[in-house]
Amino acid sequence: MNEWIERGTKVIMNTYSQFPIVLEKGNGVYLWDSDGKKYLDFVAGIAVNALGYNDSDYVKEISKQLKKLQHCSNLYWMTPSIELSEILVQNSCFDKVFYCNSGAEAVEAAIKLSKKYGKKFHGENCYEIITMKKSFHGRTMATVTATGQTKYQKGFNPLLPGFSYVEFNNFNELEKAVNKNTCAIIIEPIQGEGGIHPAEKIYLEKVRSLCNKNDIVLVFDEVQCGIGRTGELFAYQLFDIEPDVVSLAKGLGGGFPIGAMLATQNKADALQPGDHASTFGGNPLACTAGKVVLKKLLYEGVLENVQKQGTYLKSKLIELQERYEIITDVRGHGLMLGIELNCSVKDIVKECIEKGLLLLGAGENVIRFVPPLIIGKKEIDKGIGILNEVLQQFQK
C-alpha cells in the first residue's frame, strides 16, 4: 500500500470509496500521482476544474487577491463579489445573487427561498416541493431529502416533510402531483448522478407554463450542468426555458470552493436580512476564481471549445457504440456526456485508470465524461483510444 494511503486511512473518515492513487499535481488536462504516473483527466474533479490545472491567469489573479484580502464578513461589501455578480446577472435572466460554498448549500438556499415565497404569498401551508426521481441535489438533510434516490437517504430517516418525487420528463405525473401547497419544483436540466439524463425541451416548456399558472417557484439545479458544461453559460439557455431560481457551484470556481443561488427580483425579494446567510459566502478569493472562469468562458473561446469538442467527443462515443454491443446508449450535451452499458462499469473505470485515463460512473451502468472545458481533439482521441482498448476486454 502507498505510504500516503496508509497514513490517510488512519486519520480520514471512511466516507468515500477511493481509488488507490494519490494525486499530487496537474497541468492542462493531465494529472500526476505521488509515484509520478501521468493521467489524462476526463473527470475534472467531477465537473469542477473547468480550466483544467495550473491555468496561468487563474493562479495569477487568485494570488494577487490573496495579497489584498483573503476574507471579511458579509457585514461589509467586497469588490470581487460585486464584480462576479455583475457578470452573472448581465449574462443571465436573473437579477440577484446569493453566495455560499457548495452545490448542496446553493440548493439549500433555493429550498429556503421557495418556502419563504410560498408562505408569503400563499399561506403557511405552502411549503411542499416536488423533485424528480433519479435526481441528485446534495448531502445536507434538506438536499438529500430533495434527492430522488433512496440509496442516498438510507439511514437518515426521518427525512424532512413536504417533499414528493415524480418521474423525470413525465409532465402528466408532475401536473397531478401539484396542489395548492406546492411552493416549488426543482429540476436538473441534465441529471448528473442519476445517469446523464437530459430534460426534453417540450417537457420544460410545459413545466414553465404550469409554474406560471400556479405561481410556483421553478428551480433549476445547474450545479453540475451549468457554467459552460453544455456549451452555453447556463444549461437553461440550451433549452431556451428561463427558471426563477438557479443553483450553481462546481465549475463556477474552477476548483476553488464556491456556490451561488441566482434569482429573479420578485423571487429574491422573499429573503430579507436575517433569513439566510453563509460566513464564507462571497469569499473574495472564491469570487476572484469565479471571475477568471467566467471571463475565459465568455471572452476567450472556452464556450465555443465546449461546443466543438463536445460534438466531437459525442461522435467518437457513438462510434464506440456501433462497435460494441455492450454500449446501449450515448446521451448528454456539450462536455457532459454519458454512455450506458448493459453491465456494471466499475471494472471498466478501474482498468482505464490503470492505463492512465481517469473516468467515473454515474450510477451502476453509466460512464460519465466531464473533462476540463479546455480539452482538445488530441486529448479526446487519446482518451477514446484507451477506452476502446479496455472495452475490447469486456465485449462478450
Q: How far apart are CA 5 and CA 155, in angstroms?
A: 28
Q: How far apart are CA 2 and CA 170, in angstroms?
A: 48
pLDDT at 2: 87
pLDDT at 1: 59
Partner residues linked to 96 by β-bridges:
263
- Amino acid symbol at 204: L
Centre a 10 Å sphere on the Cβ of residue 52 and count the other Cβ atoms it contains.
23
- Residue 80 · residue 65 · CB < 8 Å: yes
Task: Give buried/exposed letters for 54-80 (b at 16+ CB in 10 A, else e).
Answer: ebeebeebbeebeeeeeeeeeeeebeb
pLDDT at 396: 63
- Residue 105 · residue 111 · CB < 8 Å: no
Q: How far apart are CA 284 and CA 281, in angstroms?
A: 9
Q: What is the CATH number of domain 57-299?
A: 3.40.640.10
Helix or strand holding residue 201 (H, E):
helix 201-214
User: Which phi and psi (to 5°) does residue 179 adopt?
Assistant: -140, -175
Residue 319, C-alpha cell as written in the block = 462510434
pTM over 0.95, yes/no: yes
What is residue 99's DSSP assignment? E
In the chain, which stretches have pLDDT less than 70? 1, 396
pLDDT at 174: 98
Nearest to 305 by CA among 196, 367, 230, 382: 230
pLDDT at 394: 85
Which residues 6+ apart lie within 8 Å of 97 measured at CB? Answer: 84, 85, 88, 89, 260, 261, 262
Which residues 6+ apart lie within 8 Å of 219 measured at CB? Answer: 107, 110, 114, 184, 185, 186, 187, 243, 244, 245, 246, 247
- Residue 39 · residue 32 · CB < 8 Å: yes
Centre a 10 Å sphere on the Cβ of residue 115 and count the other Cβ atoms it contains.
20
Q: How far apart are CA 280 and CA 226, in angstroms?
A: 22
Nearest to 169 by CA among 209, 146, 129, 197: 197
Alpha carbon 178 to chain centroid, angstroms? 26
Where do the domains of the chain lie?
A: 57-299
pLDDT at 395: 76
pLDDT tens track for 146-165: 999 999 999 999 999 999 99
